Amino acid sequence: MAFGKILSGKISPSGRDMRGGFDARLRAEVLEDFEDSGIGWVWATDEECRLNYLTPAAVEKLGVDPADILGKPLSALFETDPDNPDEKSDRPLKFQLSAHSKLSALTVRLTNSAAVGTNKKNTWLSITGVPKHDGNGNFRGYRGSASDVTTEYQRKLEDSRLAEYDSLTGLANRHRMNRRLESTLASYKVAKRSCALMMLDLDRFKQVNDTLGHQAGDELLRQVADRLRGIIGDRGEIGRLGGDEFQVILPDLDDRGSLGELADKIIQIISQPYPIEDKRATIGTSVGIAIAPYDGVEKDELVHASDLALYAAKNGGRGAFRFYSADLKDEAEVRSELERDLRAALAEGDLQLHYQPVVRTKDHMVVGCEALMRWEHPERGNVSPGLFISVAEESDLINQIGEWALRRACDDAVHWPRTVRVAVNVSAVQFANPGFPAIVTNALAASGLEPERLELELTESVFMGDSETTEATFKMLKELGVRLALDDFGTGYSSLSYLRSAPFDKIKVDKSFVDSCTQKDQNSAKIITAIIGLSEALGMETTVEGVEAFDQFDLVCSRGAKLIQGWIYAKAMPQDVLMERMASGEMKIEPEGPDRYRADRRSVFRRIGIIHDDHRYEAVMRDLSKTGARIEGLLGVPEETGLVLDLGAGQLVVCWVTRSRDVEIAVEFETPLVSDGAGGLCTRHRISPYALAAAGMPLGALPPGHYPLSLNQGENQSKPQFMQVQVTR
């Protein structure tokens, strides 16, 4: 009868149930049998939602002491699973109890405090409960039922995990990433918070699958996922969208300096070689970055923006990052058009080779020339080799273009002095072609060029394929008598092992080390010294690339550089110009260039806005660096005047005038600019569209145009203090 009293409280003195005339003892017996059968359990609370009854079988199942749970708040004993995708209510149990809401098949488990001393933390219950009120409407507690749903719930969690996560890498899948991005952006609109989205895919991944097999490709993807986890940590969520596409959501991050540094770190670490069984695979990655709310406030807008930025990064030569900007086009379509135009250019003879001299520092004599491909597009103008070569590598064009370049270079070099060699770049795709040695043999035979005058420049990516095939190709090329050079040395991660096993005749020091070799806080000068020393110890030549100024020239010469290729001697030139210089006896080139190298200074012609007080002026920026700029178009600006530059797309830069002469001023920025990933510079932060909306601008991604600090355009404006002068090219 005790059970019946607790549950109903309505038993007559005669022991008969007042509701329907059922025997109370029978009701209690039925209830007890029901509880003992394990079909379901019963629970109840008092008016303060403290547990005052739970079926004994449930207490035993949970492995807790009744004294530890009776009289405790229900919300302190049980908790809902916040990650349960099927939970009907996203409100926590405590809130529902305080609101005296009806509980309907709510899945809960023991809290950590309730489960202390037990092994039942993963026992899941489904509870249903109805609030109980007295005749005056006062809440008297809950009456409810419960059942053990551990097996079913764990199966549901596993199914949910399979539906939300990539089975190969364990990363979130496309479905989960879309849902997370949508929910994040929706909540951030209200809170006016930012969110960055990175899109990346793997360069040369297809070659791994083709050369090492799909199992190797799967293993590589798993290792990529592990590296991404190590880089991103708890700063965001990483997803694999399919194939070799990955996505990273980074909440509360809009600093483009920090994002650029993170993207650079991703590129560097993903590009390290991967041990797969007894082989090594080398890939790369490109990264596109978009930031809400500046580049979009909806999921589709932000994804599209990051996609465009990714394509732009790939088209810029790969192994790079790019921020979205409003002038980016649909790069997938542009890339397809570029491939069609490249096919036509190859067929119609529109591709050219230019030759940049390699000069001996001892006497400034030309000892060789590197063949560099050029393409003058009728509409696009000069197309960067970094762009069209990557397009060619994704199609069957690279082998055709590579063979054409090899034949043309050999034909041209035959007419040079016999002391001058020709160097030709060979892509990893060409090198992996089993017929490549025969192509080299035929080019030499057709031109009559001596094999020792042909130098093939290779990068570390040639070692990505099957090691036995690679070794066989090296052996055949050396038997031909051609020379082999390792290009871009020092930018990879396993060069020493390559030097040990591959028969190179030359190492080329990459331009990236030369660019920073005169900076005190860099180790580039030491690296150049080490490379030159290593090369000499191995009996190899060394060419230092990219020397442009005398401070660089003097430094690399003092470190032992014997061969230099760079603008300080000559830029690349077509065959007819080179032949004219050789015919006139100009085999000796004296170095000529600026005294100091200025890496961050760029000559530009860019129309910008200048804001002073409540006036906006139009001007032209001529030079730009991270810390300042040279601007033309304003007359009468005193030195030390504070200005705000409007670089467009919400980029406002606070600066001071450091020099003023006629219509030209020089300014110094309050905060240095950062790299935009495309060789340009941008501000770390942008003016939020939310701030613009508060000033009367429409909410959304920033449109192109002007963003004055003051919208005061009325009668209270002061008179302009400077004279605006029209500037043309």
Instruction: Give the span between the Cα atoms of 132 and 642, in whole angstroms.
Output: 70
φ/ψ of residue 19, rounded to 5:
-100, 100
| Residue 729 counted as domain residue | no
Instruction: Give the span between the Cα atoms of 676 and 328, in whole angstroms.
Output: 13
Burial class (CB in 10 A: 0-12, 13-18, 19+), 569: buried
Cβ neighbour number for residue 609 with a 10 Å cutoff: 18
Cβ neighbour number for residue 406 with a 10 Å cutoff: 25
pLDDT score recorded for residue 719: 83
Rg of the chain taking only CA atoms, in angstroms? 36
Instruction: Give the span between the Cα atoms of 594 and 394, in whole angstroms.
Output: 39
535 lies in the same domain as 500 = yes
Mean pLDDT of 609-622: 88
| Whether residue 224 has pLDDT greater than 70 | yes
| Residue bearing tokens 């020089």 | 666
pLDDT, one tens digit per residue, over 55-114 is 888 888 888 888 888 999 998 888 876 555 555 445 678 888 999 999 988 888 887 666
Question: Are the C-beta atoms of residues 270 and 688 closer than 8 Å to each other?
Answer: no
Choosing from 306, 328, 350, the residue where a domain stops is: 328
Contacts of 600 (CB under 8 A, 6+ apart): 625, 626, 627, 681
CATH, residue 133: 3.30.450.20
Cis? peptide before 293, omega within 30° of 0: yes
568 lies in the same domain as 434 = yes
Mean pLDDT of 303-308: 93
The CA-based angle 535-538-539, given to 5 degrees, is 85
412 lies in the same domain as 544 = yes
| Whether residue 704 has pLDDT greater than 60 | no
| Residue 21 counted as domain residue | no
Instruction: Give the span between the Cα atoms of 636 and 727, in whole angstroms.
Output: 15
Question: Are the C-beta atoms of residues 449 and 410 closer than 8 Å to each other?
Answer: yes
pLDDT, one tens digit per residue, over 680-689 is 889 998 876 6
Mean pLDDT of 137-153: 91
265-278 burial, b at 16+ Cβ within 10 Å, e below that, comes to: ebbeebbebbebee
Count of structural domains, the chain: 4
pLDDT score recorded for residue 21: 55
Instruction: Give the span between the Cα atoms of 456 and 425, in whole angstroms.
Output: 6
Question: Are the C-beta atoms of residues 483 and 454 closer than 8 Å to each other?
Answer: yes
CATH, residue 509: 3.20.20.450
206 lies in the same domain as 124 = no
pLDDT score recorded for residue 695: 55
Listed residue (248, 260, 264, 267) closest to 306, CA to CA? 248
Q: How far separated are the first and last CA of the chain, in Å rounded?
A: 100
Which residues form the domain of 122? 38-156
Beta bridge partner(s), residue 197: 249, 290
Instruction: Give the span between the Cα atoms of 322 and 313, in whole angstroms.
Output: 5
469 lies in the same domain as 445 = yes
CATH, residue 649: 2.40.10
| Residue 627 counted as domain residue | yes
521 lies in the same domain as 375 = yes
| Residue 187 counted as domain residue | yes
| Whether residue 713 has pLDDT greater than 80 | no
417 lies in the same domain as 541 = yes
Question: Are the C-beta atoms of residues 266 and 677 closer than 8 Å to each other?
Answer: no
412 lies in the same domain as 465 = yes
DSSP 322-365: EE--TT---HHHHHHHHHHHHHHHHHHT-EEEEEEEEEETTTTE
667 lies in the same domain as 692 = yes
Contacts of 91 (CB under 8 A, 6+ apart): none
pLDDT, one tens digit per residue, over 492-513 is 544 566 677 778 999 999 888 8
Cβ neighbour number for residue 90 with a 10 Å cutoff: 8
pLDDT, one tens digit per residue, over 586-604 is 789 999 988 888 766 677 8
> How many residues are present in the chain?
729
Question: Are the C-beta atoms of residues 711 and 611 closer than 8 Å to each other?
Answer: no
Instruction: Give the span between the Cα atoms of 22 and 15, in whole angstroms.
Output: 10
| Residue 17 counted as domain residue | no
383 lies in the same domain as 505 = yes
| Residue 578 counted as domain residue | yes
Contacts within 8 Å (CB) and 24+ apart, 522-531:
525/555, 525/559, 527/490, 528/555, 528/556, 528/559, 528/561, 529/559, 529/560, 531/489, 531/490, 531/507
Q: Which amino acid is at 642?
A: G
Contacts of 16 (CB under 8 A, 6+ apart): 22, 23, 24
| Whether residue 529 has pLDDT greater than 80 | yes
pLDDT score recorded for residue 273: 86
Instruction: Give the span between the Cα atoms of 354 and 509, in whole angstroms.
Output: 21
CATH, residue 248: 3.30.70.270
Listed residue (302, 300, 307) closest to 322, CA to CA? 307
Mean pLDDT of 639-648: 90
pLDDT over 90, % of the chain: 48
Residue bearing the bigger pLDDT, 316 or 143:
143
Q: What is the DSSP letter of 429?
A: H
Alpha carbon 433 to chain centroid, angstroms: 31
Mean pLDDT of 299-324: 88
Instruction: Give the span between the Cα atoms of 614 and 696, in whole angstroms.
Output: 16
| Residue 72, helix vs strand vs coil | coil
**Token pair listed for 56:** 């004994």
Contacts of 151 (CB under 8 A, 6+ apart): none
Instruction: Give the span between the Cα atoms of 450 and 118, in whole angstroms.
Output: 83
pLDDT, one tens digit per residue, over 331-376 is 567 778 888 999 999 998 899 999 999 999 999 999 999 999 999 8
Mean pLDDT of 516-532: 84
pLDDT, one tens digit per residue, over 13-68 is 444 444 555 677 887 788 877 777 767 889 999 999 999 999 888 888 888 888 88
Residue bearing the bigger pLDDT, 113 or 660:
660
| Residue 523 counted as domain residue | yes
Lowest mean pLDDT among 257-261, 415-419, 675-679: 675-679
pLDDT score recorded for residue 694: 60
pLDDT score recorded for residue 492: 54
Instruction: Give the span between the Cα atoms of 483 and 451, in whole angstroms.
Output: 8
| Residue bearing tokens 């613009």 | 692
pLDDT score recorded for residue 121: 56
What torsion, rounded to 10 degrees, do the Cα atoms 512, 514, 520, 526 define? 100
The chain-wide mean pLDDT, for the chain, equals: 84
Confidence at 392, pLDDT banded by 50, 70, 90: confident
Starting at the edge strand that comes first in sequence, how are the strands of the sheet with 237-242 ordered? 237-242, 245-251, 195-203, 284-292, 321-323
Residue bearing the bigger pLDDT, 361 or 212:
361
| Residue 85 counted as domain residue | yes
Beta bridge partner(s), residue 11: 17
Listed residue (111, 109, 90) closest to 154, CA to CA? 109
Mean pLDDT of 378-395: 80
Q: What is the DSSP letter of 729?
A: -
Mean pLDDT of 405-433: 94
In this prediction the pTM is: 0.58
275 lies in the same domain as 184 = yes
43 lies in the same domain as 148 = yes
Confidence at 11, pLDDT banded by 50, 70, 90: very low
Question: Are the C-beta atoms of residues 559 and 475 closer than 8 Å to each other?
Answer: no
**Token pair listed for 588:** 């000796």
